[in-house]
């Protein structure tokens, strides 16, 4: 009987997976509603791919912030760091000594520098993350306006060729009014998103660092008693977030082709909202990293629905705010029910083939 209870506890859905499934179902319902309401726009494969093509930088920032949020922290400087990287890389690419590799290394260096600074002050000096990253946001914004106040269009031929490069998907596409088949296209930034999703998912699922991140996010005192180096884990979570913000800035520059003081504006708020919608708790310790892109897709789908309906653009912020309220309340309800002994959501019987064997042994 004891082995039966152990098997049932192992097959019970975790909080992270439950919230991830809820986020996935909501996205499917949302996109299905968009397909039914505006089939002319959302029925095209390119419309779906453009969510990634035009917002690859936001997807990347959301991934990095997801790691910090699972660890129980927050970083509101990622948008400003992204904007700073775009301007710095644009200046370098337009200089006589500029190169794509040099710009990429500069982006990684800027992001890592902010991540190391924030991680040290938060993890080892134990200063509140919100205050430190707020200072980082002001610092990045100040450096951004100091570098150059006017937009800088990157005209380097090699970078322009990289920006305009597309990858065709010949088996997916749409037929235009003239009867010609137009294949779907994705940008290089989408490849970066896919690679980072795979790397970060593996990191959080199967590495010791990922397990430590969940542990300190759930209860840092218990994690410390288990022998986990809480300070080092929290430090590297911010380093990863800063590094990801640097990558996001370079991808943002590949998308827009220009450095601008408005680049990355409100990315931190959108990333936080996307993570919450994707099932990552603000308290830390609960969340599936794959929920980060799911939450971003849901938020972007809502914005596209608002545009398709011809509603004023300022309504996007209102809807996003209301949606964030709804998801926070929904998460609170789900977690409260999960703590109730009368409420137990487990896997369906057909996914638990070992139960019969255990019962027979009992």
Give domain limits for the chain.
Answer: 15-38+57-346
CB atoms < 10 A from the CB of 336, how many? 10
* Distance in angstroms (rounded) separating the CA atoms of residues 55 and 301: 12
> pLDDT 10s per residue in the chain (362 long)?
444 444 444 456 777 888 888 889 989 998 998 888 888 778 888 888 999 999 999 999 999 999 999 999 999 999 999 999 999 999 999 988 889 999 999 999 999 999 999 999 999 999 999 999 999 999 999 999 998 888 889 989 999 999 999 988 887 777 767 777 778 889 999 999 999 999 999 999 999 999 999 999 988 899 999 899 999 999 999 999 999 999 999 999 999 988 888 888 889 999 999 999 998 988 888 889 999 999 999 999 988 888 887 766 667 677 777 877 887 787 778 777 766 555 454 545 544 444 444 444 44
Between CA 223 and CA 214 the distance in angstroms is 9
3-state secondary structure of 24: helix
Give the helix ranges, DSSP H, for the chain. Answer: 2-11, 15-37, 39-42, 45-53, 56-70, 78-93, 100-119, 129-147, 157-164, 188-206, 208-218, 220-225, 230-256, 267-277, 291-308, 314-338, 354-361
**pLDDT at residue 360, rounded to an integer:** 46
Q: How many CB atoms lie within 10 A of CB 332?
A: 11
Round to whole Å and give the CA distance between 2 and 70.
32
Neighbours of 36 (CB within 10 A): 10
Between strands 167-175 and 181-186, the pairing is antiparallel
- At residue 52, the pLDDT reads 93
Closest residue by Cα to residue 75 from 27, 119, 31, 110 = 119
Residue 47: Cβ within 10 Å count: 18
pLDDT score at 42: 81
- CATH tag for 15-38+57-346 (out of 1.10.150, 2.40.160, 2.60.40, 1.10.3470): 1.10.3470
């Amino acid at each position: 009987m004891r082995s039966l209870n152990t098997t049932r506890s192992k097959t019970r859905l975790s909080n992270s997976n439950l919230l991830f499934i809820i986020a996935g179902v909501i996205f499917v319902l949302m996109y299905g509603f968009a397909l039914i309401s505006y089939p002319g726009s959302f029925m095209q494969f390119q419309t779906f791919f453009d969510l990634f093509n035009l917002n690859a930088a936001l997807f990347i920032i959301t991934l990095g912030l997801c790691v910090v949020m699972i660890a129980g922290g927050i970083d509101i400087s990622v948008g400003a760091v992204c904007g700073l990287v775009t301007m710095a890389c644009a200046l370098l690419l337009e200089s006589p000594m500029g190169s794509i590799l040099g710009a990429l290394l500069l982006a990684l260096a800027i992001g890592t520098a902010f991540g190391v600074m924030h991680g040290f002050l938060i993890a080892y000096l134990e200063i509140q993350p919100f205050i430190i990253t707020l200072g980082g946001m002001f610092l990045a914004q100040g450096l951004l306006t100091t570098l150059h106040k006017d937009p800088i269009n990157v005209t380097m031929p090699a970078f322009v060729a990289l920006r305009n490069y597309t990858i065709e998907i010949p088996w997916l596409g749409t037929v235009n009014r003239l009867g010609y088949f137009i294949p779907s296209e994705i940008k290089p930034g989408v490849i970066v998103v896919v690679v980072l999703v795979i790397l970060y998912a593996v990191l959080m699922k199967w590495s010791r660092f990922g397990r430590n991140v969940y542990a300190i996010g759930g209860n840092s005192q218990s994690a410390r008693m288990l022998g986990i180096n809480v300070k080092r884990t929290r430090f590297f979570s911010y380093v990863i977030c800063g590094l990801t913000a640097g990558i996001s800035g370079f991808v943002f520059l590949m998308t827009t082709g220009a450095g601008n003081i408005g680049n990355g504006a409100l990315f931190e708020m959108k990333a936080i909202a996307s993570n919450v919608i994707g099932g990552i708790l603000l308290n830390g310790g609960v969340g599936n990293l794959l929920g980060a892109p799911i939450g971003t897709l849901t938020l972007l789908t809502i914005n596209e629905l608002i545009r398709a309906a011809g509603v004023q653009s300022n309504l996007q912020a209102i809807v996003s705010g209301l949606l964030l309220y709804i998801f926070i309340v929904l998460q609170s309800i789900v977690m409260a029910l999960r703590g109730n002994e009368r409420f137990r959501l487990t896997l369906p019987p057909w996914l638990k083939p070992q139960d019969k064997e255990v019962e027979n042994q009992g």
